[in-house]
Structure 1
Amino acid sequence: MTQLSEESLRTSYTIPSIAEIRVDIVEGIDKKLRYRVHEPVLSDVGRTLLNNFTYRVYRDLNLMKHLSTLSFSRKAYDVVVGLLKDYIKKEFSSRPAIIFGGSSPASRVSDAEIYNVAYYVVRDLLGYGPIDPLIRDQQVEDITCNGVELPVYVFHREFEWLETNVVLPNTESLERVVRVLAVRSGQEPSIANPIVEGVLRPEGYRVHIVLDTVSGRGHSFSIRRFRETPFTVVELLRRGVLDSGLAALLWMVVENKQGIVIYGPTGSGKTTLLNALAMFLPPETKIVSVEDTPEIFLPFHDNWDSMSTRLSNDPKVQNVTLQMQIESAMRQRPDVLILGEIRSREAYAFFQGVSTGHGGLTTVHAENIEALIRRLTSPPMNVPKSSIATAKLYINILRIPTPSGVVRKVAYVYEVEGYDAMKDLISFKLISKWFKDEDVWYLDLRDSNVLKSISELILTRYEDLLRDLVMRATTLSYAASKNVDIFEFHSILRRYRRDPIKTFNEAKEFLGDSYKLVIRELDERKSL
């Protein structure tokens, strides 16, 4: 793609890869942000060497087989560098004109040029071709291509949707990428089956492929990347997604295995929040997570079983659905069931599990609490309101535009007050709300049903729970102030479970004071 003149650099960083790959986020004269990826530059000699060596690899079955056993890694890169050097020594003496057009002796092919050529060999044979840098960029959440000669777009963690300078210029190059994605995901798109979804191996990213038979601008694909190290509540606190008081309340609710449903629009951070809250569970807790594509990651929970679905076009191979996996999970006697996202009939099985005393965490696409209840009670979910009422908290997370950009906020938290069987209505009470003008959260915990349930469950006075909430909030503020990583955060949680007073005192001493819990009457109830 042609780069616009007079672009100003907003930020720049490198991508961890086998070669130095740089990304520039630039702003054009049209005020549009763009994503520029810079790969090693090849000279004419380097391009000729790349074409000839790649041709040889495809013709040599033994060499192709050897390279295919390698993964995209530094080891593969070093192997290819050695093969390239041997190739130059062997082939130049007999066919210099064919290799370099007779314009350059082998001695003038520098090591730097060989390393650059090796990068492209590994990228195209073992990686994902032109889109490989985008897949390696940990700041990228989504990658989409809508057809030939169109720029690939990425969803950046900081800047959201950006046009890239990666363009697949012809049908052949697009088909090559689609073929790689199909093979890596174990799917076979065809005229009879032009739309497929799968999981890229070994990365575990979700891919969606649509062939040109039903896509007007050519083959298209989208890839959802997952963060290798999940967000912790500390990172969410530092990003202003929620505050320490609300986080402490959610910590208490999760730890005591109460049912929680997180809802919001696409891209609001529902799964990110779900994963962060699940880390509050004690490490010995029996957890079973069920997802279409594995996204949940709990690195410190050895008693966690991650289950995913399996769909097949072969009539002889059984499909494994979310509903089947949930039913299987319930036979494992889990303390907590995590369902990545409710979409269909698995909703009924999830709420049945929650109603029988299992802890539960899940997400649903819905803009507000009214839309959420309509969706849960309508086909194909058809969940009875009596079952919906068994979950204790409903958390609304939103993407909110601000002058400085889009931010994610836990905007509302509702608790279930009760269920009226005669009227078939669920009573919801708002217990937390984010006020945009002040950028603060207020908690209404004067008479909270969820805290009463926890109080009865662990035989603790309501006032003691509020004191514990202050101690937890102070501890979380301490962790956020120190910007601890995931390992240190796990250590802090472990210390708090073992000796909460000592951990609280350490946090209070570091901060200079404890968290000030301000309870404000929100006085908002809904019967749905």
Structure 2
Amino acid sequence: MQFNIKKFFKNIQNNNENNLINENNIYDYDIKEDKEKYVTNKKPPQWNVISKYSIGPNNYYIYRGEDGLVHLLVNEPKMSNKDELIEVISGIRKATSNIMQYEIEKLKSGYGAIYPLIIDPHVEEISYSGYTTYVSIIHKLIPARWIIADLNILKDEADSIAIELARKAGKTVSIASPYAEGITSEGNRISVSFMSEISHFGSSFILRKYPEKPLTMVDLIASKVLSPSLAAYLWLLAESQGFIIISGSMGSGKTTFLQALASLLPPYSKIITIEDTPELKLLSPNWDSFITRPKLPGEEIVEVSLEDLLKFALRRRADYVIVGEVRGREAKLLAQAATSGYGAMTTIHADSSEGVILRLRFEPIKLPALFMKAITAIAHIRTLPSLGGKSIRKIFEVSEIDNDNIIEIYKIGNSQDLLEKIIARSSKLEAACERLGFHYSEVLDELKSRVEFLENSTGKTPEEFYVSLSKFYVDKYGDII
């Protein structure tokens, strides 16, 4: 019997946001039935369960603890007989159950106590700050906030996990070289410190997973991140090779929105993405993905920066260039590309459209005023509090830049996102129509056709959505392509 982790994912139960229980309907769940079969790190007689699901032999419970905080508890099966496991690993005998195969895969993985989090597709990021702290995670069912994973990691095991994570990224950590960063063979970004050389609480690590299945714009519309009208407007600007900047704070969903918007670009166009961490995942057959290569102390390799990769990308005849995040001189180079006819998109840390302008105008970016005119639109996304202790992500405002003025196209609670209102406020749509080959008088019908397409694509997988998108472009520009 061969263990297949992909089959485990098919066993997920109640794993979507619709199954999250409203705070007013939380119920008590008794775990006595699990005590004989499972080993838990925390055994209260009852707790307030928000959601529960299974992956393989593991049961996962999201609950609100006595401290009022949201936790994730993982019930793993009790360990098989150690002698039997040794015999299976040695090839003397075969595994007799899925549980035994799970244990073997866990041992082989080197992830130790965090292995249940690694195989859980709901977990996006894992953080451990040392032996006196909890393991914290970002979980898809409780978006935009850290929750506590009830895992006990002893000091020696934390050291072992730190060493293994570094090894998976082709790095080493030791007392002489106590930290490392890199990307594992699975595409996960890791940052590790070893023992107490630089970290007060001993070995620590952060692991950000590479997304298995990207979200589409239809997914974001369904989650009410933005309206179909606003999505259609940004889509039109992006397709017409405008310069779109997505701003927000850490963890607000900037990259997710960048992914969704980039996935609307024409499939017959050349798209190049440049990132520090490989988070974008496009289905386009003409997609080139580049990632930076940092240089750490003691290493002899040549550093490859965002700026280096951007210069390299502009020599590859791209139609669209997307930089995961701008922080320095690469912003100026991207703006130059935008003025040269490339479509450009990126994200930046800022708290508003005005904050974006300030960050771009001053050090370390210091973008000349001339290049500010290259910016087509700024979409600002925020994490807002919601009922039941959850947080929701929303496009908070969208602005255009015109002659050094910030023009408000949409803002929550201040302006409507009806197509007619958007068209009336926009100074960029006319140029976008001209670049795409139709008259400005047709812009309302054009936006309506995109709204209709997005609304009719509800519920489609990324692959199904991309097929529909390709047909949309063929129907629209068939005589051209």
TM-score by length of 1: 0.77
Alignment map for 1:320-331 (pairs within 5 Å): 320-331=304-315
> Of the candidates 133, 137, 142, which is equivalent to residue 120 of structure 2?
137
What's the CA shift for 1:415?
0.8
Could you tell me which amino acid in structure 2 is paired with residue 479 of structure 1? S
Contact 1:430 1:444 in 2 (8 A): no
CA distance in 2, matches of 1:345, 1:132: 39
Other-structure match for 1:253: 237
Mean Cα displacement is larger for which, 160-169 or 318-327?
Answer: 160-169
| 1:85 counterpart = 2:122 | no
> Of the candidates 292, 301, 320, which is equivalent to residue 317 of structure 1?
301
> Of the candidates 474, 489, 493, which is equivalent to residue 465 of structure 2?
489
Other-structure match for 1:499: 475
Could you tell me which amino acid in structure 2 is paired with residue 138 of structure 1? P
| 1:165 counterpart = 2:202 | no
CA distance in 1, matches of 2:102, 2:452: 49
The DSSP-based 3-state class of the residue aligned with 1:222 is: strand
Alignment map for 1:71-470 (pairs within 5 Å): 80=88, 83=91, 85=93, 111-112=96-97, 115-159=98-142, 160-169=145-154, 171-201=155-185, 203-211=186-194, 212-299=196-283, 301-313=284-296, 316-404=300-388, 405-418=390-403, 426-435=404-413, 441-442=417-418, 443-470=421-448
Other-structure match for 1:35: 72
Contact 1:265 1:365 in 2 (8 A): yes
The DSSP-based 3-state class of the residue aligned with 1:498 is: helix
Higher relative contact order (CA 8 A, sep 6+): 2
CA distance in 1, matches of 2:285, 2:407: 36
CA distance in 1, matches of 2:174, 2:477: 62
The two structures, once aligned, show a CA RMSD in angstroms of 2.3
Could you tell me which amino acid in structure 2 is paired with residue 132 of structure 1? Y
Deviations 1:61-101 (A, max 9, x none): xxxxxxxxxxxxxxxxxxx5782527xxxxxxxxxxxxxxx
Over 3 Å counting, the alpha-carbon distance change for 1:83 and 1:338 in structure 2 is: same
Please list every run of 5 or more consecutive structure 1 residues that lacks an aligned counterpart in the other structure.
57-79, 87-109, 419-425, 503-528
Over 3 Å counting, the alpha-carbon distance change for 1:241 and 1:37 in structure 2 is: same
Over 3 Å counting, the alpha-carbon distance change for 1:173 and 1:415 in structure 2 is: same
Contact 1:84 1:118 in 2 (8 A): no
What's the CA shift for 1:331?
0.7
CA distance in 2, matches of 1:204, 1:193: 23
Contact 1:397 1:410 in 2 (8 A): yes
Could you tell me which amino acid in structure 1 is paired with residue 147 of structure 2? L
The DSSP-based 3-state class of the residue aligned with 1:412 is: strand
| 1:4 counterpart = 2:73 | no
TM-score by length of 2: 0.84
CA distance in 2, matches of 1:158, 1:445: 36
Other-structure match for 2:18: none
Contact 1:197 1:208 in 2 (8 A): yes
What's the CA shift for 1:261?
0.5
Other-structure match for 2:12: none
Contact 2:79 2:103 in 1 (8 A): no
Contact 2:273 2:324 in 1 (8 A): yes
Over 3 Å counting, the alpha-carbon distance change for 1:145 and 1:447 in structure 2 is: closer
> Of the candidates 453, 456, 476, which is equivalent to residue 475 of structure 1?
453
Larger Rg: 1
Could you tell me which amino acid in structure 2 is paired with residue 283 of structure 1? P
CA distance in 2, matches of 1:315, 1:172: 27
> % of aligned pairs identical?
31
The DSSP-based 3-state class of the residue aligned with 2:93 is: helix
Over 3 Å counting, the alpha-carbon distance change for 1:458 and 1:31 in structure 2 is: closer
Contact 2:210 2:278 in 1 (8 A): no
The DSSP-based 3-state class of the residue aligned with 1:85 is: coil
Contact 1:5 1:28 in 2 (8 A): no
The DSSP-based 3-state class of the residue aligned with 2:151 is: strand
Contact 2:132 2:201 in 1 (8 A): no
What's the CA shift for 1:254?
1.5
More helix by share: 1
Mean Cα displacement is larger for which, 492-501 or 374-383?
Answer: 492-501
CA distance in 2, matches of 1:151, 1:316: 36
What's the CA shift for 1:383?
1.6
> Of the candidates 55, 63, 71, which is equivalent to residue 26 of structure 1?
63
Over 3 Å counting, the alpha-carbon distance change for 1:84 and 1:11 in structure 2 is: farther
What's the CA shift for 1:131?
0.7
Contact 2:409 2:425 in 1 (8 A): no
CA distance in 2, matches of 1:501, 1:359: 19
CA distance in 1, matches of 2:198, 2:122: 31
CA distance in 1, matches of 2:327, 2:477: 42
Contact 2:253 2:393 in 1 (8 A): yes
CA distance in 2, matches of 1:407, 1:126: 34
What's the CA shift for 1:29?
3.8
Over 3 Å counting, the alpha-carbon distance change for 1:501 and 1:286 in structure 2 is: closer
What's the CA shift for 1:412?
0.7
Contact 2:112 2:157 in 1 (8 A): no
Please list every run of 5 or more consecutive structure 2 residues that lacks an aligned counterpart in the other structure.
1-40
Over 3 Å counting, the alpha-carbon distance change for 1:84 and 1:26 in structure 2 is: farther
CA distance in 2, matches of 1:352, 1:193: 39
Over 3 Å counting, the alpha-carbon distance change for 1:5 and 1:343 in structure 2 is: farther
CA distance in 1, matches of 2:132, 2:78: 21
Over 3 Å counting, the alpha-carbon distance change for 1:485 and 1:131 in structure 2 is: same
CA distance in 2, matches of 1:161, 1:361: 28
CA distance in 2, matches of 1:447, 1:372: 20
